[in-house]
Chains A and B, each alone.
Chain A
Amino acid sequence: MTETALPGKKPFRWHIGVFLAPAVIIYSAIMILPLFATLNMALFNLTPEGVTTFVGLANFQTLFGDPRWADAFWNALANNTWFFLIHMLVQNPIGVLLAALLSSPKLRMAAFYRTAIFIPTILSFVIVGFVWKLILSPIWGIAPGLLDAVGLRWLYAPWLGQEASALTTLALVSVWQFVGIPMMLIYAALLTIPDEILEAAEMDGITGAKQFWKIKLPLILPSIGIISILTFVGNFNAFDLIYVSQGALAGPNFATDILGTFLYRTFFGFQLQLGDPHMGATIATAMFGIILVGVCIYLFTIQTRLRRYQF
């Protein structure tokens, strides 16, 4: 009685709903609901008579236990992990190094370098996959020719065609393409460090590389954390580069098969393999779980610890 009678009580604020509605409706209808519909499909399967029945977690038992599925799944997961590790160990350190160099004061042509290094990131996978296939192929001979010119011809091998090196080669191509993203984000983070902190460091005689390690790096750790989780999600969702350069069969002999290509083959079928939406949904759910675990580890351990460094 007292509350409703107060003249200062705000009326229902319709504008909040108006501001939120378009985004929430489109996002829920096109993204969240289909996602749950797909996860739901993983709990069903077709009986031999072609009737959809609820099977609980039986699809997951098949995926993790049945040798016909499990071998392919664990192979894809192991390849995917290796793909991710190469990005973490090669792409992100290079990105930080480039950003650190770009942000050095009074560097000329910084805008040019930044744009040039970011260009591979804006190219489509179709272009990237094809270009590198051409460059690395023994037929056209750019890679062997270039190695020949510096006397390293013996190093050349058809890297994309060999089981031992194909996955690593593709991971490095992907690093080449995406190094611009950590570079841009770290560059932006380095620019936001207040000048007073850097001036204080210079007063104390901390300059150059020492300044980077002692002052700047701790301050950009939150950005590095975000880049790591973006790399994780992006890599465990990767598909296009492998698809356009090695095809849906992820050759040679599944050496480059990652979860994305495995999911594609299972969902839509390929050559002699028939599409199986329910096993496909099961793989999608497994990927969902992997990504979710990674994100949770990040949110609950890494990010809460990094908070302390923020200013």
Chain B
Amino acid sequence: MSKTRSSLGRTVAAHAVLGLYTVIALFPVFIVVINSFKSRKAIFGDPLAIPTPETFDLVGYTTVLAQGDFFLYFQNSLVVTVASLFFVLLFGAMAAFALSEYRFRGNTLMGLYLAIGIMIPIRLGTVAILDLMVASGLVNTLTALVLVYTAQGLPLAVFILSEFMRGISDDLKNAGRIDGLSEYRIFFTLVLPLVRPAMATVAVFSMIPIWNDLWFPLILAPSEATKTVTLGSQVFIGQFVTNWNAVLAALSLAILPVLVLYLIFSRQLIRGITAGAVK
């Protein structure tokens, strides 16, 4: 009797703490989104109120969508993020497979070499990267960003995926070899589907810094045609610093796509975590 009561109390306390923290986490986002739908007077008059029919106003959104190339920025960010993630996952998985599956001279050394990048930030090499991109004519192209983010994402991808691949049973792969599958077929048809949960984890943790990066777009691709959403919204804030409707609308629009991307991947992420637990 007392045991069930104490466990009920614990559950209530857990919900209270988690609920409180959820409010803290979401409050700033909530404030921006509700105020982006309000008239200028209401933004200042009562910032905490939910928009009512009297205060509802879309002027911020119309300003942003009329003046800016927000759709182009979205498209650029999407292209860069998806392409970088594709290469990080494909090349990372290939290298992880080589490191975890085969014994060869220099295996450990190669693993260490690729792991250095987890700890050392790629930003410290920015000036030389800029020189490299200038020399190869890639400045102000999305290719430059894709290359940098692929290099940045690879170390963690190799590290996590090779840990996972070591856990795959050898019997399966050897059965494939006896059936005459080539090493490439074994990798693509047997191993890759099995590490899908780990791929989702890598995808989420690589995607966030790529989508949100300000530093490399600012330095490598600041032209109007190659701006990403992060850089674009930074510029918007500068331009419209007195136009609060436009600033709040721009911020709300910048939140939206990354939220959608995260929600798409997070279902996979949760599956990845639970799959790890069952194993």
Contact = CB atoms under 8 A, between A and B. Distances in A.
Interface of A: 13, 15-16, 18-20, 22-24, 26-27, 29-35, 37-38, 41, 94, 97-98, 101-102, 104, 106-107, 109, 111-128, 130-132, 134-135, 140-142, 145-146, 176, 179-180, 187-188, 191-192, 208, 229, 233, 237, 239-240, 243-244, 267, 277, 280-281, 284, 287-288, 291-292, 295
A31 B91 contact: no
B54 interface: no
Contacts, number: 231
A227 B25 CA distance: 20
A280 B255 contact: no
Interface string B1-12: 000001000110
A249 to B, nearest CB: 16
B211 A124 contact: yes
Contact of A116 (B22, B184, B230, B273): B22
Contact of A131 (B121, B229, B251): B251
Residue among B113, B117, B125, B230 with the highest chain A CB neighbour number at 10 A: B125
B110 A24 contact: yes
A119 B27 CA distance: 11
Nearest to B3: A207
Given A122-B259, A131-B251, A244-B214, A34 B125 contact: yes
Interface stretch (B58-66, B68-76, B145-153, B172-180): B145-153
A107 B274 CA distance: 15
A113 B124 contact: no
A26 B122 CA distance: 13
Interface string B68-108: 00000000000000000001001110110111001010000
A27 B262 contact: no
Contact of A127 (B117, B129, B132, B251): B251
A111 B158 CA distance: 28
A101 B117 contact: no
B263 A115 contact: yes
Nearest to B186: A15
B234 interface: yes
Contacts of B124: 35, 38, 237, 284, 287-288
A19 B95 CA distance: 5
A125 B212 contact: yes
Nearest to A275: B127
B114 A24 contact: yes
Nearest to A101: B14
A179 B22 CA distance: 12
Contact of B110 (A20, A280, A291): A20
A42 to B, nearest CB: 11
Nearest to A132: B28
Given A115-B266, A127-B255, 15 more contacts: A13-B102, A15-B98, A16-B104, A18-B94, A19-B187, A24-B95, A27-B154, A113-B18, A124-B230, A126-B233, A131-B28, A135-B28, A145-B48, A188-B276, A239-B215
A19 B151 contact: no
23 contacts: A16-B98, A19-B95, A20-B99, A22-B87, A22-B94, A24-B114, A26-B151, A31-B122, A33-B128, A34-B131, A94-B21, A101-B14, A107-B11, A114-B270, A124-B211, A124-B212, A124-B229, A125-B212, A127-B251, A128-B28, A141-B47, A237-B123, A240-B214
**Interface SS, B side:** helix
A123 B10 contact: no
Contacts of A140: 44, 47
Nearest to B102: A16
B81 to A, nearest CB: 12
Q: For this complex, into which size category does the number of interface residues on chain B fall?
A: 35 or more
Residue among B114, B119, B234 with the highest chain A CB neighbour number at 10 A: B119
Contacts of B277: 188, 191-192
Nearest to B107: A16
Contacts of A284: 124-125
Which 4 residue pairs are nearest across A and B when measured between Cβ atoms?
A34-B125, A34-B128, A30-B151, A37-B128
Contact of B127 (A19, A113, A128, A280): A280
A124 B254 contact: yes
**Interface SS, A side:** helix
B123 A239 contact: yes
B94 A191 contact: no
B119 A229 contact: yes
Contacts of B15: 107, 109
Contact of B94 (A23, A123, A132, A239): A23
B258 interface: yes
A226 B247 CA distance: 38
Given A41-B127, A135-B31, A233-B119, A117 B151 contact: no
Residue among B48, B98, B114, B208 with the highest chain A CB neighbour number at 10 A: B98
A208 B10 CA distance: 9
A101 B17 contact: yes
Contacts of B11: 104, 106-107
Contacts of A20: 94-95, 98-99, 110
A19 B100 CA distance: 11
A94 to B, nearest CB: 8
Residue among A125, A127, A192 with the highest chain B CB neighbour number at 10 A: A127
A34 B129 contact: yes
Residue among B94, B127, B132, B150 with the highest chain A CB neighbour number at 10 A: B127
Contacts of B113: 24, 32
